[in-house]
């Protein structure tokens, strides 16, 4: 058998880690999670490990052990900083690692999202991505006022009324991403002239109105931010079932999936490819990354003790939508390389405790992958999307001249 093909590796950042009691681990820094130093140090650690990118979690509601809203607990981390602003802070102090914050299109105008992520692409020199996350919780809708939702629980998925709501949420997100992409394209790459002798700063014929009219949005454009360095920042979606699979196939460049085991990888990859055919995806196939929550230590027993101690502090055995891996860095590498052969492009690891497990990923998992010839030993040249194997798209409006009319946006 030949050497394994190089894989892509990312890490998800959220507070002190994905275990609810992670803040009580000796390695955690809960007093720092609302500081710039904390987030820049995590990004620099991930970049030291040559990781492809970090994602940054966010939502429009407080963290909760309940799906529908606040749970009243005071023994878990509550509160977080804005993910897009964190990424903009990280951008100037890092050099190569991709930055993919979460933002909620359900309650945020696409014009604002387009501007924010184009700005992030500029301040990071072409390393921005966006993870759109829908929100169907009434507790979050009440903060904004655009929507009103009937409360539901995940156990009700499959019931007609709930499925209609989910479909509407993802249809709205599909339109939001389309508007954002059009706005990113609304300036051609060479629209800015900066010709002092003639006094022309921009070429007006290379700015374009997007004129989007849809069920959820009416957006004129153009963007107020010139075309991002990547042309199109990377769009990444987390998907667990048919409707979000189809959203990812229509709207994303990269999809995160959560197979429970090796056999499940084949099923999830097949489901993604089916969704691509269903929506007649015109672009290259989605890049597929599997998510795993990881608790790592020098031997499996030590890793199990760490997780069991955190479970006892929280009062519940930790479970996740993604597979939970408890073991050694070497065993994790075995798992990654095995799963990779089933059609995956990469992995997003969610540290159970960031203070411990992020360091283990960087200092132990990455070197073991390198020893096996499965991971880079230095960053490649190019912008973020190019390093992921995604071409830089040409503006869709590059041959269309602008009509001089007022710029406006309305919902």
Is there a contact between 348 and 289 (Cβ–Cβ < 8 Å)?
yes
pLDDT score at 406: 35
Which phi and psi angles does 199 have, rounded to 5°? 75, 15
| Host H or E run for residue 289 | strand 287-296
Which candidate, 173, 152, 157, 165, places its Cα nearest to that of 237?
Answer: 173
The tokens for 325 are 């891996």
- For every residue of 301-334, DSSP letters joined together read HHHHHHHHHHHHHHTS----SSEEEEE-HHHHHH
* Dihedral sign of CA atoms 349, 354, 360, 366 in order: positive
Residues 367, 372, 376, CA angle at the centre, nearest 5°? 60
Q: Is CATH 3.20.20.140 what the domain over 8-410 is classified as, yes or no?
A: no
Which candidate, 89, 22, 102, places its Cα nearest to that of 354?
Answer: 22
Spans of all domains in the chain: 8-410
154-162: list long-range contacts, CB under 8 Å, 24+ apart. 154/67, 157/241
Q: Tell me the C-alpha distance between 199 and 197, whole Å.
A: 6
Mean pLDDT in each 10-residue stretch from start to end of the chain (411 residues)? 76 98 97 97 98 97 88 93 98 98 96 98 98 91 84 84 92 97 97 93 95 95 97 97 97 98 95 98 95 98 98 96 98 98 97 98 98 96 96 86 38 39
pLDDT score at 4: 61
- For every residue of 149-166, DSSP letters joined together read -----GGGBTBHHHHHHH
Please give the distance of CA 207 from its chain centroid, rounded to a whole number.
29
Rg (CA), the chain: 22
| Host H or E run for residue 291 | strand 287-296
Q: How far is CA 67 from CA 61, 155, 282, in A?
A: 11, 10, 35
Cβ neighbors of 215 (< 8 A, separation 6 or more) are: 171, 172, 175
Half-sphere exposure of 225 (CA within 13 A, CB side): 23
Q: How far is CA 401 from CA 179, 184, 204, 231, 343, in A?
A: 19, 16, 8, 19, 43
User: What's the length of the chain?
Assistant: 411
């Amino acid at each position: 058998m030949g050497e394994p093909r190089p894989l892509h590796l990312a890490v998800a950042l959220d507070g002190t880690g994905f275990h609810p009691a992670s803040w009580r681990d000796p390695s955690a820094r809960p007093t720092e999670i609302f500081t710039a130093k904390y987030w820049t140090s995590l990004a620099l650690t991930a970049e030291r490990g040559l990781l492809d990118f970090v994602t940054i979690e966010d939502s429009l509601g407080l963290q909760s052990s309940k799906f529908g809203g606040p749970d009243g607990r005071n023994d878990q981390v509550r509160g977080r900083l804005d993910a897009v602003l964190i990424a903009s802070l990280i951008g100037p102090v890092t050099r190569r690692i991709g930055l993919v914050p979460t933002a909620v299109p359900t309650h945020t105008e696409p014009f604002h999202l387009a501007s924010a992520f184009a700005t992030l692409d500029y301040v990071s020199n072409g390393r921005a991505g966006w993870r759109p996350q829908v929100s169907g919780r009434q507790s979050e809708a009440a903060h904004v006022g655009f929507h009103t939702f009937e409360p539901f629980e995940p156990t009700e998925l499959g019931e007609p009324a709930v499925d209609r709501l989910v479909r509407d949420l993802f249809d709205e997100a599909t339109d939001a991403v389309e508007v954002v992409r059009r706005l990113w394209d609304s300036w051609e790459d060479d629209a800015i002239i900066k010709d002092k002798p003639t006094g022309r700063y921009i070429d007006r014929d290379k700015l374009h109105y997007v004129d989007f009219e849809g069920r959820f949005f009416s957006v004129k454009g153009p963007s107020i931010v010139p075309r991002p360095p990547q042309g199109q920042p990377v769009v990444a979606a987390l998907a667990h079932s048919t409707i979000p699979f189809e959203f990812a196939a229509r709207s994303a460049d990269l999809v995160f999936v959560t197979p429970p085991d090796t056999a499940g990888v084949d099923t999830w990859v097949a489901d993604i490819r089916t969704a691509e055919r269903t929506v007649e995806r015109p672009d290259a196939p989605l890049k597929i990354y599997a998510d795993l929550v990881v608790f790592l230590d020098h031997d499996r027993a030590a890793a199990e003790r760490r997780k069991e101690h955190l479970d006892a502090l929280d009062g519940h055995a930790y479970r996740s939508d993604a597979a939970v891996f408890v073991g050694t860095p070497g065993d994790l590498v075995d798992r990654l390389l095995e799963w990779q052969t089933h059609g995956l492009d990469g992995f997003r690891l969610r540290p159970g405790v960031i203070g411990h497990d992020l360091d283990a990923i960087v200092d132990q998992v990455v070197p073991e992958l390198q020893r096996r010839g499965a991971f880079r030993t230095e960053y490649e040249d190019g912008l973020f999307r190019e390093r992921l194997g995604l071409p830089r798209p040409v503006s869709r409006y590059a041959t269309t001249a602008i009509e001089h009319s007022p710029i406006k946006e309305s919902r």
